[in-house]
Amino acid sequence: MASEQLSDDLLLRRIAQRDASALESLYERHAQVVFNLIVRIVRDPATADEVLQDTFWQAWQKAGDFRADGAVAAWLYRIARNKSLDRLRRERARPQLATELPEETLASLASPQPSVEQEAARSWQRQYLQGALAAIPSEQRRCVELAYFEGMSQQQIANHLQTPVGTVKTRLRMAVEKLARMVRAAGLQAEDIEP
């Protein structure tokens, strides 16, 4: 069976056995959504690209450590989120003036206007995702919002909600799994969803 036809779990098992084509397939399947998550946190496409590479490098190194009790996509998103937050912490430790940004970074911020079709697809996707978020239990939805939209760590969420960290982890895992099922049920692939 070709790598692109395998489930994420099987791809990760092959990656643990150092199958580079399995890593390539996993990358092709998830890189765009992971990049979108990263760029929302770090707010710089060049930095996001570096963090994306770091994320998949860690997936290559740690594939054998993956516990199959959750979705591979959720595991990748956690790695990406943690690496993004680590990068922000490092950047805050050595602030950079806006005038020091490289020219290509400034140029990349001026993106072309999307076509009508692209905008319509994004609008439908946003509405669908808002509906999917509204369909999950409020405790899980709040954890997702704080983690993925506010950039809080699991410990920060636990402190904010005055809830044990283990409960926050469980709520996040369950929410991501439910959202993934809803996205698949709508006939979308995770990589089809744009910010």
Q: Give 108-151 pLDDT, tens digit per residue.
A: 444 455 556 666 666 666 676 777 778 888 898 888 888 877 77
Domains, the chain, with CATH or none: 1-94+101-111 (1.10.1740.10), 114-189+191-195 (1.10.10.10)
Write down the residue that tokens 């779990």 correspond to: 9
- Higher pLDDT residue, 184 or 17? 17
pTM over 0.85? The answer is no
What integer is the mean pLDDT of 157-163?
93
Question: What angle separates helix 72-93 from helix 8-16, to the nearest 10 degrees?
Answer: 60
